[in-house]
Amino acid sequence: MVPNDIVLGDGVFAVGGVNIALTRGGGQFLVEREYRRIQADGDYGPVKGRIRKISSVAKLVMNALEILPASLPKFYPSVRNTNAAGPPITDTITGKVDIETADYNTTVTWTGKTKGGRNVVITLDNAINLENIDWALTDKDELVPQLTFTATYDETTRTTEPWKIVFSG
């Protein structure tokens, strides 16, 4: 028996349908869930039927080796890129007052394959990076910021989780 359903770790990250140029150190997909046990006197532990899901937050983390100035507003909310044609071409990155609708990326994806050749696509909907700009500037090393995108719920369907994993092929 050949283990064809092993998901391989190499793949392509995309933000808003645009592939991230280069990454280093891959990334991570996680769904952080919080559960609440409804406890009663005499319980020795969790009781079937008395556990509630309180929250579910899906995240896709990537380590971007190549930073394209035009992409920074997709990577960080409340950021603006002002481009001057030049010469020389100048990109100036500054902060904005607040988060705008345009700061949410319709989709953030990771596309990969299984050992057997099936496609695997992880998708976060209406994703935003809620982490701070935190760039380690280390002598003799490249800048590799970690981008952590969090899927956000739609106001009209607040109990529909905004993420999915699709295996196809």
Q: Tell me how far the alpha carbon of residue 137 is from its chain's centroid.
A: 23
Which of 22-26, 53-57, 84-88, 115-119 is the most confident on average? Answer: 53-57
| Model pTM score | 0.90
Q: Does residue 83 sit within a domain?
A: yes
Q: What is the pLDDT of residue 1?
A: 64
The residue-averaged pLDDT of 144-165 equals: 96
For the record, the structure tokens of 107 come out as: 């989709």
Q: Does residue 38 sit within a domain?
A: yes
Q: What is the pLDDT of residue 85?
A: 83
Report which of residues 99 and 3 the model is more confident about: 99
What are the angstrom distances between the C-alpha of 90 and each of 64, 83, 93, 103, 140? 21, 6, 10, 22, 25
Q: Does residue 1 sit within a domain?
A: no
For the record, the structure tokens of 123 come out as: 């998708």
Q: Provide the domain limits for residue 75.
A: 7-168
Residue 86 clears pLDDT 90, i.e. is over it = no
What are the angstrom distances between the C-alpha of 32 and each of 58, 80, 121, 161? 6, 30, 19, 12
Kindly indicate the confidence band of residue 14, based on its pLDDT and cuts at 50, 70 and 90.
very high
Q: Does residue 144 sit within a domain?
A: yes
Q: Does residue 78 sit within a domain?
A: yes
**Mean pLDDT score across all residues of the chain:** 93
Kindly indicate the confidence band of residue 163, based on its pLDDT and cuts at 50, 70 and 90.
very high
Number of domains in the chain: 1
CA 159 to CA 54: how far, in whole Å? 11
Q: Does residue 11 sit within a domain?
A: yes
Q: Does residue 86 sit within a domain?
A: yes
Percent pLDDT > 90 in the chain is 82
The residue-averaged pLDDT of 91-100 equals: 95
Q: Does residue 111 sit within a domain?
A: yes
CA 141 to CA 127: how far, in whole Å? 29
